[in-house]
Amino acid sequence: MKLLYTLPAGACLFACAVASNAPKAYEPKYRLSPIDGSKIALPTAEQLAFQDKEIGVLIHYNIATDIGSDGCNYDPKLVPDQALFNPALINTDQSMERITALGGKYATLVAKHNCGFTIWPTKSPAHGESVVESFVESAQKYRIGHGFYYSVVVNNFLNVQNAEVLNTSLAWGQVGISDSTYGQIVFDQLTELWTQYGNLTEIWLDGGYGSTQMNDIQSLLEAHQPQAVVFGACDKNSTFRWIGKETGEAPEETWSTGTTSDGGDPTSPIFCPAECDTTLQTDDRWFFGVDQPLRSIEEMIDVYHTSVGRNCVLELDLAPDRGGLIPARHAACYKKLGDFIRSCCDKPIAPKDTKPKNEAGSYSLTFDFPTVIDRIVLMEDQTNGLVIRSYQAHAKIVDAEEANGTLNVPWTLVSNGTSVGHKKIDFFDKAITVTDVLVNSTYVDIPKWRSVSVHLCGSLTYN
Ligand SMILES: *[C@@H]1O[C@H](CO)[C@@H](O)[C@H](O)[C@H]1NC(C)=O
Ligand SMILES: *[C@@H]1O[C@H](CO)[C@@H](O)[C@H](O)[C@H]1NC(C)=O
Ligand SMILES: *[C@@H]1O[C@H](CO)[C@@H](O)[C@H](O)[C@H]1NC(C)=O
Ligand SMILES: *[C@@H]1O[C@H](CO)[C@@H](O)[C@H](O)[C@H]1NC(C)=O
Ligand SMILES: *[C@@H]1O[C@H](CO)[C@@H](O)[C@H](O)[C@H]1NC(C)=O
Ligand SMILES: *[C@@H]1O[C@H](CO)[C@@H](O)[C@H](O)[C@H]1NC(C)=O
């Protein structure tokens, strides 16, 4: 469980509090619609590249792996004995094999969680182990983008909650410091992480940072990792937004624009796509839990459909066990999910002819012979912003009772919706036999379809 996102104020808790003394306002980039003059938010190349990855993992392997509870959250005096941490069997290549089997394209490692323990040899103060370096080497070897999660606002080891050192008496294992020393430690540790391990794909500062730390952190980010996508509060310079819950389910209508922790807002001038973080273990369990049950493959396929299939990057937890290995039953589940995606959504049924129709915003597929399909996958080219506002997918269905043995049938609406963005997957209640598919749309500028494809995946998750 990631502490701050479960509080009512959500991802904004700290980042929002600092807005008033921000030195300079964040200036979003947008253009105006040639059709109705509305603002069309523009993406960065990094945002589009990150959405293209579709699936990544968040690796929870830290001192909390060795205790019974899921981290040091909500327990300010809990400082696990650092001697517990024993990555005797860790093999970061093994983790990369699992990520590859899942189809994950990036991996963000929890370099420091709320207990305060670091898993790289930091100089400031020395309290940790060296896992980060081999993680980075393996990620590069497997061509998986790497990044770090680092929580600034909680550090039990240093008696810090809500980005401030508490003035309570120290518990076992705690070290007393001042707020300014804490600010310096955060700065030094982030400097190590952001300068010694190459270009990062994702940076996750859970819960943001305190107001006094903002300028230093922003400057550091700009100086060393300007290309990294930053997960957090989108009105405060983050580049990806939290979807608002940890179940892996984005709203049916999820826009790439907007700043709130939900489906977003098509009229927002801020391009800030959504990321759906969720666990494979049940009960929102992030760190490895002994005998913790896993969610079923059917549920994980639903997660894929309601995250990637709803324009939300899926960040799935990876929880190595105490020795550092990915448990076999976890590995089997990642592989099964990856196999499903590869065999289904990555394999379109090739039509004889596909083309943008003369009618603007439309796209058609024509098949050589009646073809069985059970879902449609839509992708919008967002290079110039997200412009589709609704779509209607029609098909000529020839196996319906009313077809009466003729191929000359009228169009039937098979699915419709609002946002498309990077990807929208709609599956039908049942498989249908079709000769033609036509998608048309409403928009604020003539859209470019990146792809429209149909698939037959079978009914693993529905009847
Ligand atoms: C701790 O800080 C609070 C709030 O600033 C203050 O009211 C309290 O007296 C302080 N306690 C100690 C032990 O210094
Ligand atoms: C990191 O990115 C910068 C700017 O894109 C590039 O010049 C540099 O070569 C990259 N460094 C590494 C280690 O890939
Ligand atoms: C956003 O970034 C700008 C510079 O790119 C910086 O001056 C500003 O402080 C940042 N705002 C916040 C709220 O972090
Ligand atoms: C098929 O036949 C039925 C019964 O004769 C008729 O009601 C229906 O309109 C026909 N459908 C088509 C598409 O011709
Ligand atoms: C989808 O189609 C149904 C039936 O025509 C209609 O009621 C609904 O409003 C449509 N929804 C969208 C988002 O276009
Ligand atoms: C969309 O497709 C249908 C086909 O059923 C067609 O009647 C309609 O004119 C098309 N265009 C729009 C803008 O709805």
Using an 8 Å Cβ cutoff, are 5 and 245 in contact?
no
- pLDDT at residue 7, rounded to an integer: 27
Q: Is the CB of 199 under 6 A from ligand 2?
A: yes
Delimit the domains of the chain by residue range: 28-344, 353-455
Structure tokens at 341: 């995606």
Ligand 4 pocket test: pick from 397, 402, 409 the residue with the most ligand atoms within 8 Å of its Cβ. Answer: 402
- Domain 28-344: CATH architecture, name and number where available: Alpha-Beta Barrel (3.20)
- Of 251-255, 344-348, 433-437, the poorest mean pLDDT is in 344-348
Architecture of the domain spanning 353-455: Sandwich (2.60)
pLDDT bracket for residue 1 (50, 70, 90): very low
Handedness of CA 117, 122, 126, 129 (dihedral sign): positive
The answer, yes or no, to whether any atom of ligand 4 lies below 6 A from the CB of 401, is no
**pTM, two decimal places:** 0.90
Mean pLDDT is highest, among 22-26, 127-131, 326-330, 348-352, for: 326-330
Type and span of the H or E element at 297:
helix 297-306
411 lines ligand 6 (CB under 6 A): yes
Task: Give 118-162 pLDDT, tens digit per residue.
Answer: 999 987 665 556 899 999 999 999 999 999 999 999 999 999 999
Quick: pLDDT tens for 265-315: 999 999 999 999 999 999 999 999 999 999 999 999 999 999 999 999 999
Measured CA to CA, the distance from residue 114 to residue 63 in angstroms comes to 10
**Distance (Å, rounded) from C-alpha 163 to C-alpha 93?**
35
Ligand nearest to the CA of 169: 1
With beta carbons less than 8 A apart as the criterion, state whether 428 and 414 touch.
yes
What would the pLDDT profile of 174-231 be if each residue is shown by its tens digit? 999 999 999 999 999 999 999 999 999 999 998 888 889 999 999 999 999 999 999 9
Query: Contact 246/2 with Cβ under 8 angstroms?
Result: yes
Please count the residues of the chain: 463
